[in-house]
């Protein structure tokens, strides 16, 4: 315990002295939280601009709350504007036919425009037939109406921040200590490898908890409006399991990397694709099925999904057992591999 405590203090002092590491552990992830929180935090819906030709009844029926119309002299000029990317779509009403042209480069806007136009045409057909619609739709979200986008952003960004700090911290620590011959001295001392790894685990867990406290504290401010409900405290064991999983990745990288540049490149090569394929920065529902299946092999997907369950979906302890088991199993396997390739000397 004395060796573990001494190594832990040394690692903490090194961390506090490294201003660059503190920036990337805390301020860098918070920049993304603030950026996405402010951009997506508004409850207002932006309007879609549609180029129109003429002034028929269907064009006049386009809902002004969600559509801004921009008039063109000819339909060809409106279509050309769509092709150039100036507007997402263009419509022209010719008798009983509505011509719609949209750009596939913006799938969201294209789908929105098609839905609006189909709705307007369907309403017009009902009025012409004189028959009221037989079916009605009552739509409502399953979550509390007071939920803000920050509820969904926090889990993914926090998972990414934990992954980056744990992996980078472990990898860089081992590389720097190996280069400075610290590992060689530790090997020749009575200090056991378990004390070295245990100290690194302790430091990483403290940093992860501090990150979560800062992250959630900022997200709960009135500017963002995060609300902790239900069994939110279950995020703590998930954070521990996730930290151990990505700490194992850092130990593996630090076991074979010989320079800080190589360690940084290797960690980025592993962690960044995970972030994009785990739905941290944007939903992956539109990706091919095989990509979504592969993403479940990545620990960040289980960490972010588990945090989303406990922070947003009021999940119980039974819902977090599977992601925790996967994260801990991943940590055990990768740590075992790291011990096989670990080198004390350069």
Domains of the chain: 2-40+148-341 (no CATH), 48-129 (3.40.190)
Read off the pLDDT of residues 204-231 as tens digits, 9 standing for 90 and up. 788 888 878 887 888 788 777 777 766 7
Q: Which comes out higher in pLDDT, residue 37 or 299?
A: 299
Give the whole-number percent of the chain exceeding pLDDT 90: 5
Residue 338 has pLDDT above 80, yes or no: yes
Residue 11 has pLDDT above 80, yes or no: no
CA 276 to CA 306: how far, in whole Å?
17
> What pTM was estimated for this model as a whole?
0.65
Residue 146 has pLDDT above 80, yes or no: no
Q: Is 31 exposed, middle or buried (0-12, 13-18, 19+ CB in 10 A)?
A: exposed
3-state secondary structure the chain: CHHHHHHHHHHHHHHHHCHHHHHHHHHHHHHHHHHHHHHHCCCCCCCEEEEEECCCHHHHCCCCCCEEEEECCCHHHHHHHHHHCCCCEEEEEECCEEEEEECCCCHHHHHHHHHHHHHHHHHHHHHHHCCCCCCCCCCCCCCCCCCCCHHHHHHHHHHHHHHHHHHHHHHHHHHHHHHCCHHHHHHHCCCCHHHHHHHHHHHHHHHHHHHHHHHHHHHCCCCCCCCCCCCHHHHHHHHHHHHHHHHHHHHHHHHHCCCHHHHHHHHHHHHHHHHHHCCCCCCCCCCCHHHHHHHCCCHHHHHHHHHHHHHCCCCCHHHHHHHHHHHHHHHHHHHHHHHHHCCCCC
Residue 141 has pLDDT above 60, yes or no: no
Lowest mean pLDDT among 12-26, 180-194, 296-310: 12-26
**Structure tokens belonging to residue 308:** 């989303």
pLDDT band at 139 (very low <50, low <70, confident <90, very high): very low
Supply the pLDDT for residue 142: 44
Supply the pLDDT for residue 230: 67
Mean pLDDT across the chain: 78
């Amino acid at each position: 315990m004395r060796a573990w405590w001494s190594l832990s203090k040394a690692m903490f002092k090194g961390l506090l002295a490294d201003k660059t590491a503190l920036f990337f552990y805390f301020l860098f992830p918070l920049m993304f939280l603030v950026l996405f929180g402010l951009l997506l935090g508004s409850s207002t819906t932006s309007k879609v601009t549609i180029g129109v030709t003429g002034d028929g009844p269907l064009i006049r029926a386009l809902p002004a709350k969600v559509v801004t119309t921009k008039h063109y002299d000819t339909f060809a000029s409106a279509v050309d504007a769509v092709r150039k990317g100036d507007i997402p779509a263009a419509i022209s009403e010719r008798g009983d036919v509505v011509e719609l042209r949209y750009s596939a480069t913006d799938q969201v806007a294209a789908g929105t425009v098609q839905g609006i136009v189909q709705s307007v045409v369907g309403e017009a057909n009902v009025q012409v037939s004189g028959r009221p619609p037989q079916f009605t739709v009552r739509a409502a979200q399953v979550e509390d109406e007071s939920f803000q986008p920050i509820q969904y952003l926090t889990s993914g960004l926090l998972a990414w921040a934990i992954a980056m700090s744990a992996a980078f911290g472990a990898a860089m620590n081992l590389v720097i200590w190996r280069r400075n011959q610290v590992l060689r001295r530790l090997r020749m001392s009575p200090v056991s490898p378990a004390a070295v790894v245990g100290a690194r685990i302790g430091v990483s867990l403290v940093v992860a908890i501090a990150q979560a406290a800062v992250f959630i504290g900022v997200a709960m401010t009135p500017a963002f409006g995060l609300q902790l409900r239900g069994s939110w405290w279950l995020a703590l064991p998930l954070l521990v399991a996730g930290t151990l999983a990505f700490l194992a990745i850092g130990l593996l990288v630090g076991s074979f990397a010989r320079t800080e540049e190589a360690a940084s490149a290797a960690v980025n090569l592993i962690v960044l694709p995970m972030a994009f394929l785990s739905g941290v920065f944007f939903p992956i529902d539109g990706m091919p099925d095989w990509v979504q299946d592969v993403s479940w092999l990545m620990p960040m997907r289980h960490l972010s999904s588990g945090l989303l369950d406990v922070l947003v979906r009021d999940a119980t302890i039974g819902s977090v057992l599977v992601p925790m088991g996967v994260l801990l199993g991943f940590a055990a396997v990768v740590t075992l591999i790291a011990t096989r390739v670990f080198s004390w000397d350069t």
